[in-house]
Structure 1
Amino acid sequence: MSVFNVLLRKELREIRRTWRIWVLPAILLFIAITSPILAQITPALVRSLASNQPGVVIELPDPTPLDSYRQFASQLSQIGLLALIITTAGIISSELRSGTAILVLTKPVSRRSFVLAKLAAQLALLTGATILATLVCWVGTLAIFGEAAIGELAAATALWLLVAAGFLCLMTILSTLITAQAGAAGAGIAAYFILSILAGWGPAQRWTPAGAL
């Protein structure tokens, strides 16, 4: 068995035994559960608020499964990415501070294998949580609206997963360069908001990951 495989198994065991196995999946599942519900009740809430304003009439179309998918994608791009940034800010630096990295790297283990194993383990967690959340959203949408084509949802989620994987790579780099976990998280959040601002600029929207936010 290669050194990388040994390190990857170690990282996956650590994920199963720590809070990391719960936090990000729980957030993505919360988004998946609430998205169909919000899509269903939002038009009614808007009409209710408008009815309290004399002379204000708001006509909204009835919600559809696509509204649920849009809600899911929107929350993933906001809450989901911010949660990913914060939870992975210490992916390398926490090991350096605790001294665990030193114990591992004093053995015949390359730095590249050490970093890539951590990245691969986090990517496996992210992918598994995303697939589970997507299925939950699809089932919830089907239960509420009576129909739910999974193709559009799968395509939107796959695009988000690519962007999230990019942010995971970014956080791995930042966690290597910045010792303080809060500092790495701050830098990652700053990068997120810069991309969000660039999303409003046509060329950036077409040719950079900002277009997926």
Structure 2
Amino acid sequence: MSGTAVFARKEAREILRTWRIWVLPGILLFFAVTGPVVARFTPEIVGALAADQLGGFTIPTPTYLDAYAQWVKNLSQIALFVLIIIYGGLVSGETKSGTAVLVLTKPVSRSAFVAVKAGVHGLFFAVILVVGTLLTWGLTAVAFHTAPGSALWSSALVSLVLGELFIALMTLLSVLIGSSAGAAGAGIGAYALLSIAGIWKPLARYSPAGLGSDATALAAGAATDVLWPVLTALVLMVVLVALAAALYRRKDL
């Protein structure tokens, strides 16, 4: 077995043995379980808590699309913030602790070190998202007695691309910035810039800036063309990880 494969196994085991196995899955699975229930009973909840304040206003009857929209909203907002925070030290954490030096004395190159970290944690996020989407789908079917899958899965896959893009970004920022908090702060700034950029329609149409709004539209059952946002995001992921690897090769450990 190659050194790279051994390192990938080590990285996967660390996920299972550390706090990361609880934080991201716990948050996303909580929203996957509660989202359909909250969407289904929102009129009753609001009516019970604020009937007098509504002044006779009637809340529209919820549909399965409301449950889908809630899930995708959580993926596009809360999930990204969690990714940014927990992966601020994705590379710098091991560099500071000295673990990276020990790993790199084995037959593992610096480029492989960076690429494996991005790949393993990207796979971890993908598995959680698929499990959460399955839970949302099943519980929506129970709550609304109908749950066509196309709107949910298409929007979830677009959200997956957006999440993987931010994992690639945090890989680069973790190499560039020695502090986990500093990298997380830069990641939040990048999230804000991407959200603002998405307001300009031409940029949203042909760049990753449109992924968030595209996922929301798909969850609502609307037809939207996601080809260019997805393709440009995939290319940008490769560029970000390649740049992170190139910079890490020149970094003093």
Give me the TM-score of the superposition, normalised by structure 1. 0.93
**Equivalent residue, structure 2, for 1:87:** 86
Contact between 1:65 and 1:141, CA under 8 Å: does it hold in 2? Answer: yes
Does the CA-based 8 Å contact 2:88-2:181 persist in structure 1? Answer: yes
How many pairs are equivalent? Answer: 212
Amino acid at match of 1:114: F
Query: What amino acid is the match of 2:115?
Result: L
Q: Distance in 2 between matches of 1:146 and 1:154?
A: 18
Question: What corresponds to 2:22 in structure 1?
Answer: 22
User: What is the CA-CA distance between 1:195 and the residue it aligns to?
Assistant: 1.1
Task: After TM superposition, list the pairs within 5 Å mapping 1:63-82 onto structure 2.
Answer: 63-82=62-81
Q: Within 5 Å, which residues of 2 pair with 1:24-43?
A: 24-43=24-43
CA distance in structure 1 between the partners assigned to 2:63 and 2:171 by the alignment: 39
For residue 196 of structure 1, what is the amino acid of its counterpart? Answer: S
Q: Does 1:187 align with 2:186?
A: yes
Amino acid at match of 1:20: R
Alignment of 1:55-204 (within 5 A): 56-204=55-203
Among all aligned residue pairs of Structure 1 and Structure 2, give the percentage whose two residues are the same amino acid: 48
- Counterpart amino acid of residue 97 in structure 1: K
Provide the secondary structure at the position in 2 that maps to 1:147: coil
SS of residue in 2 equivalent to 1:104: helix
Contact 1:7–1:113 under 8 Å retained in 2: no
Name the stretch that deviates more: 92-101 or 135-144: 135-144
Alpha-carbon distance in 2 for matches of 1:21, 1:189: 22
C-alpha separation between the residues in 1 aligned to 2:203 and 2:82?
24
CA–CA separation in structure 1 for the residues paired with 2:49 and 2:18: 44
User: d(CA) in 1 for partners of 2:173 and 2:36?
Assistant: 35
- The amino acid of 1:166's aligned partner reads L
Does the CA-based 8 Å contact 1:50-1:58 persist in structure 2?
Answer: no
Give the counterpart letter for 1:108 in structure 2.
P
Unaligned segments of structure 1, at least 5 residues: none
**For the Cα contact (< 8 Å) 1:81–1:164, is it kept in 2?**
yes
Q: Deviations over 1:47-66 (max 9, x none)?
A: 55664248x34233211111
RMSD: 1.7
Unmatched runs of 5 consecutive residues or more in structure 2: 213-253
TM-score under structure 2 length normalisation: 0.79
